[in-house]
Amino acid sequence: MNQERHDSPELMFDHIGIVVPDVVTGSSSLAAVLGPLLWTQSFLDVGLGVSVRFAQDRSGIVYELIAPLGADSLVARTLKSRANLLNQIAYRTSSLESSVKRLRAQGAVPVSVAAPAVAFGGARVQFLMVPLGFLIELIEGDRVVHVFS
């Protein structure tokens, strides 16, 4: 088996992002489908134009519900089109620049600039469309922890 070495940090799975009309309705709907979930607080991120909330299912998978904060939010267009509602797979990385460079070399295209995210304590996030047609969210910092209650 041929294993490639990369000169950039490993990507560590963090969550699956789902676009919803609002986090309250989305929370109820997700719990109805998946059963009991552990939840974080909701985060309003005016800079990114979204409201988010994280849930963890019994198997440990983390979901991020993402709701637009107004009609100008990028996810408002996604919600209106009803396309790409299962929006991204998110990974943590210790070096955003190195990971973006590696993914770009593999044909990924940035769809945003790196920006701080409230839900991650101000850590920068960046979104890229990969050649397979889905979004990857990179979260800078390999120690991001969601607090569920």
Cα–Cα nearest to 89, from 62, 116, 108 = 62
Higher pLDDT, 8 or 86: 86
Inter-residue contact 42 to 23 (CB < 8 Å): yes
The pLDDT of residue 17? 94
Do the beta carbons of residue 110 and residue 104 sit within 8 Å? yes
Residues with Cβ within 8 Å of residue 145, at least 6 apart in sequence: none
Mean pLDDT of 14-20: 94
Helix (H) or strand (E) holding 140: strand 135-140
Choose the CATH number for 12-140 among 3.10.180.10, 3.10.20.310, 3.50.50.60, 3.40.30.10. Answer: 3.10.180.10
Give the Cα separation of 124 and 118 in Å (integer).
9
pTM for the whole thing? Answer: 0.81
CA 97 remoteness from chain centre: 17
Cβ(131)–Cβ(107) below 8 Å: yes
In this prediction, residue 7 carries a pLDDT of: 58
